[in-house]
Amino acid sequence: MKKPNLRSQGGQMITEAILMLVALMAVTFAVANYFKSEELLRQLITGPWQNIAGMLQNGVWAPPGPGALAHPNGHGRHIVITGEEAR
C-alpha cells in the first residue's frame, strides 16, 4: 500500500484557501454595506449622545428639546426671598 503524496494536494489547498478568502471578503463587504445603508454606527453614536446632551442642559435623562420642559428653572415651586421695600 502506497502512502499518498502530499505534494499532489498543494494545488487543492491553495484553491480552498483562495475560496475561503473570497467568501470572507464577500461577508465583510455585505456587513459593511448593511451598516452603511441602515446607518447603524450613526445611531450608536447620536442616540445616546442626545440623552447625555439633555442631562447636561436640563438635568434630566431626555433629549434636549423635550427635556427643557423639566428644567428646574421652569418650575413654579421655587421661592424668591425679597427684603423690605425701600422707603
In a domain, 1, yes or no: no
Contact by Cβ (8 Å): 13, 21: no
CA dihedral 67, 70, 73, 75 (to 10 degrees): 160
**What is the per-residue pLDDT for 77?**
64
In a domain, 46, yes or no: no
Count of C-beta atoms within a 10 Å radius of residue 67: 20
Q: What is the per-residue pLDDT across 14-50, written as a single tens digit (0 to 9) for each?
A: 899 999 999 999 999 999 999 999 998 888 888 888 8
Domain that holds residue 64: 52-87
Contact by Cβ (8 Å): 60, 49: no
Is the pTM higher than 0.85? The answer reads: no
Do 57 and 84 belong to one domain?
Answer: yes
Looking at the structure of the chain, the number of domains it has is: 2
CA-based nearest residue to 52, from 31, 67, 35: 67
Do 83 and 61 belong to one domain?
Answer: yes
